[in-house]
């Protein structure tokens, strides 16, 4: 006797607190897949996982409960079964809810579960917001398996939530209780290499339990978190069906039991992007959703003809199209002719071309220095003189944004290497609403991403193009031959802020490849290491590593005041990931 179950994996892009919009999005997705026996939504689908301390807000909790009732009614209206990820009222004595799921079947609540393992590291704060299942009492603490009826057949399904599958206990307990399929709902944010690591975890769980795992994850961005989706079904024999990354939508998979347990009948290979393509994509997903979900109608940034702003130009044009991209070229007395020319060529040659307004700042710069001389009887010092130029440029960008009614998102162009080392001017080049390169190192990410994008402009990669179109509804922009030549020149030009004659970034920082290797070990390595350990690992003098660590500590106040940006690496400079004191005398 053969048993079948059709499971709809809804890989959705939700917005925090947009209860009605999230509901309508889910309803439309379910209506497109009514042939499924059971519909599975991601973790915290009702509210979105990135709700922060709203999870503790009494009115937010009441709204969540009210909208859960709408999902219950939806299951009745559509005569179907829906697995809804949502905060549920906890049973312990606290103001917290539990991170839970509830199964509504044809208008009835037939199952509920609270997340057992609450992550409390990196960007995760579940312990702050939620009660664990293990904090409950009586039957609320017990784990159960849902006996799901399909016709005359019964299918026993065990449910868990995200972090639960990173451990062995929950899935093993579900298997011991007779589960035939494990379903995990997730809001697992993106980080470099996390996709491959998750697949290893999947294999471990199905190997231990002998059961297929259905993994449903969300996509999109909300503030500094981005999600890649990659919802999947994995069989014990290794058969993998995986939805494409960043693709919002629903896919129905059929699991069949022909007498040896349920198995997925169709495999689907993973479309693999290069590391550079993936990082570029996810940085743009974060930027796109922050700007769109906050109702900006366009972007504005300074275009200098240098590497960072040129990469931002490529990202914004690819993501939004030329009509949403506005830039200002703001040369000072120290700006080279080559920088101006490259900026103009890039603006003309990306797609149909984007708006680049020339606003020379020399007159304002000299006037401000003259005012300083009248007040203090001398010229401003070297650093003050350099920062003045960046601050004038920041003023112009803010004015352009404000003149548009605040509808132009000011995109910052500082990269992770500069931000960590404090190599930027507060209220100048660090002035932004969104930091497009916040978690992208200069040598590890920015230059390789630019090389990748240039290579795609010369010889388009069909897989990258396909994933880009399904994510943003457009292909990456076509570049003219002159634009490609200009980008090649940008990549080859030694980095310089051009704030004084002959300036190079290496006047203030070590060469980026050498700097970034040390920064990566300090920031992103999986284990905390001393200066001596890092020095031995990299073959660097310990004094050099200590110098970088000390310089990285000093400008914490700048990072605290800087704009949000997408988390790409294991540890980002975002406020969720980085919680350091502004005042600290530890050397």
In terms of domains, do 257 and 368 share one? Answer: no
- The enclosing domain of 152 has a CATH number of 3.60.110.10
Of 267, 276, 272, 250, which Cα lies nearest the Cα of 212? 267
Looking at residue 498, its pLDDT comes to 67
Looking at residue 587, its pLDDT comes to 63
Q: Biggest alpha carbon distance in the chain?
A: 95
From CA 314, how far away is CA 446, in angstroms rounded? 12
Residues in contact with 363: Cβ distance below 8 Å, sequence separation at least 6, in sequence order: none
From CA 198, how far away is CA 358, in angstroms rounded? 48
The conformation of residue 553, written as its DSSP 8-state character, comes to H
pLDDT tens string 256-308: 988 889 999 888 888 889 999 999 999 999 999 999 999 999 999 999 999 99
In terms of domains, do 242 and 284 share one? Answer: no
Q: Looking at 53-62, 455-464, 481-490, 523-532, which range is the least confident one?
A: 523-532
The conformation of residue 562, written as its DSSP 8-state character, comes to S
In terms of domains, do 301 and 384 share one? Answer: yes
Establish if 496 belongs to a structural domain.
Answer: yes
CB 216 within 8 Å of CB 231 = yes
- Burial grade of 32 (CB within 10 A; 0-12, 13-18, 19 or more): middle
In terms of domains, do 49 and 153 share one? Answer: yes
Of 379, 383, 360, which Cα lies nearest the Cα of 370? 379
Taking residues 143-169, report their average pLDDT: 93
Can you tell me whether residue 587 is helix, strand or coil?
coil
Q: Count structural domains, the chain.
A: 2
In terms of domains, do 290 and 325 share one? Answer: yes
Of 253, 270, 287, the position where a domain reaches its end is: 270
- The enclosing domain of 321 has a CATH number of 3.40.50.620
CB 150 within 8 Å of CB 119 = no
In terms of domains, do 263 and 283 share one? Answer: no
Establish if 410 belongs to a structural domain.
Answer: yes
Distances (CA, A) of 317 to 276, 309, 348, 349, 394: 18, 12, 12, 11, 21
Establish if 237 belongs to a structural domain.
Answer: yes
Looking at residue 81, its pLDDT comes to 97
In terms of domains, do 488 and 429 share one? Answer: yes
With a cut of 80, say whether residue 204 has pLDDT above it.
yes
Establish if 438 belongs to a structural domain.
Answer: yes
In terms of domains, do 222 and 120 share one? Answer: yes
Establish if 153 belongs to a structural domain.
Answer: yes
Looking at residue 553, its pLDDT comes to 84
pLDDT tens string 464-516: 999 999 999 999 999 999 999 999 999 999 887 767 777 787 888 899 999 99
Reported pTM: 0.94
Can you tell me whether residue 416 is helix, strand or coil?
helix
In terms of domains, do 245 and 369 share one? Answer: no
In terms of domains, do 285 and 360 share one? Answer: yes
Domain that holds residue 304: 276-509+554-561
Can you tell me whether residue 460 is helix, strand or coil?
coil
Establish if 518 belongs to a structural domain.
Answer: no
**Other CB atoms within 10 A of residue 169 CB:** 11
Using DSSP bridges, classify how beta strands 249-257 and 225-228 pair: parallel, antiparallel or unpaired.
unpaired
Of 270, 291, 317, the position where a domain reaches its end is: 270
Establish if 544 belongs to a structural domain.
Answer: no
In terms of domains, do 119 and 189 share one? Answer: yes
In terms of domains, do 198 and 66 share one? Answer: yes
From CA 305, how far away is CA 312, in angstroms rounded? 11
pLDDT tens string 80-126: 999 999 999 876 667 899 999 999 999 999 999 999 999 988 888 89
Of 270, 286, 302, the position where a domain reaches its end is: 270
Establish if 532 belongs to a structural domain.
Answer: no
Write the Ramachandran bin of 518: left for phi over 0, alpha for psi from -120 to 50, otherwise beta. alpha
pLDDT tens string 65-92: 999 999 999 999 999 999 999 999 876 6
């Amino acid at each position: 006797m053969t048993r079948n179950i059709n499971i709809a994996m809804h890989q959705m892009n939700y917005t925090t607190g947009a209860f009605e919009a999230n509901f309508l999005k889910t309803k439309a997705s379910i209506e497109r897949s009514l042939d499924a026996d059971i519909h599975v939504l991601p973790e915290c689908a009702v509210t979105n996982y990135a709700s922060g301390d709203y999870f503790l807000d009494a009115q937010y909790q009441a709204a969540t409960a009210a909208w859960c009732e709408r999902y219950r009614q939806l299951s009745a209206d559509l005569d179907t079964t829906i697995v809804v990820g949502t905060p549920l009222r906890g049973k312990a004595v606290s103001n917290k809810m539990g991170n839970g799921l509830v199964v509504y079947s044809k208008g009835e609540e037939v199952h509920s579960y609270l997340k057992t393992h609450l992550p409390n590291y990196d960007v995760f704060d579940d312990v702050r917001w939620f009660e664990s299942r293990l904090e409950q009492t009586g039957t609320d603490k017990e784990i159960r398996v849902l006996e799901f009826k399909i016709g005359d057949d019964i299918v026993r399904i065990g449910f868990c939530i995200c972090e639960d599958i990173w451990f062995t206990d929950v899935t093993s307990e579900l298997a011991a209780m007779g589960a035939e399929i494990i379903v995990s709902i997730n809001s697992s944010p993106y980080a470099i290499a996390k996709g491959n690591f998750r697949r290893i975890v999947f294999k471990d769980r199905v190997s231990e339990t002998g059961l297929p795992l259905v993994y449903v994850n969300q996509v999109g961005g909300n503030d500094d978190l981005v999600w890649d989706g990659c919802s999947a079904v994995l069989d014990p024999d290794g058969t993998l069906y995986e939805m494409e990354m960043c693709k919002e939508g629903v896919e129905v998979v059929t699991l069949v039991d022909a007498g040896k347990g349920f198995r997925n009948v169709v495999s689907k290979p993973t479309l693999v992007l290069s590391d550079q393509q993936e990082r570029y994509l996810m940085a743009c997903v974060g930027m796109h959703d922050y700007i769109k979900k906050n109702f900006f109608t366009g972007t504005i940034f300074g275009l200098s003809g240098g590497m960072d702003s040129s990469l931002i130009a490529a990202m914004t044009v690819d993501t939004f199209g030329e009509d949403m991209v506005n830039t200002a070229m703001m040369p000072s007395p120290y700006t080279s002719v080559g920088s101006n020319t490259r900026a103009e060529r890039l603006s003309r040659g990306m797609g149909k071309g984007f708006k680049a307004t020339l606003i020379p700042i020399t007159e304002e710069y000299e006037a401000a220095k003259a005012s300083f001389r009248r007040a203090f009887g001398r010229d401003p010092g070297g650093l003050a003189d350099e920062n003045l130029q960046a601050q004038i440029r920041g003023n112009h960008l803010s004015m352009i944004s404000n003149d548009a009614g605040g509808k132009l998102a000011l995109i910052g162009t500082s990269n992770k290497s500069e931000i960590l080392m404090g190599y930027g001017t507060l209220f100048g080049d660090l002035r932004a609403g969104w930091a497009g390169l916040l978690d992208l190192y200069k040598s590890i990410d920015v230059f390789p991403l630019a090389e990748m994008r240039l290579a795609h402009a010369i010889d388009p990669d069909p897989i990258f193009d396909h994933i880009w179109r399904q994510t943003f509804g457009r292909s990456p922009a076509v570049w003219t031959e002159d634009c490609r030549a200009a980008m090649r020149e940008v990549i080859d030009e030694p980095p310089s802020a051009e704030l004084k004659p002959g300036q190079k970034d290496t006047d203030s920082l070590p060469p980026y490849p050498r700097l970034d290797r040390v920064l990566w070990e300090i920031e992103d390595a999986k284990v905390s290491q001393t200066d001596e350990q890092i020095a031995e690992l990299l073959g660097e003098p310990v004094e050099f590593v200590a110098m970088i660590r000390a310089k990285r500590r000093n400008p914490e106040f700048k990072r605290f005041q800087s704009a949000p940006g997408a988390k790409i690496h294991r540890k980002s400079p975002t406020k969720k990931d980085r919680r350091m004191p502004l005042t600290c005398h530890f050397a």
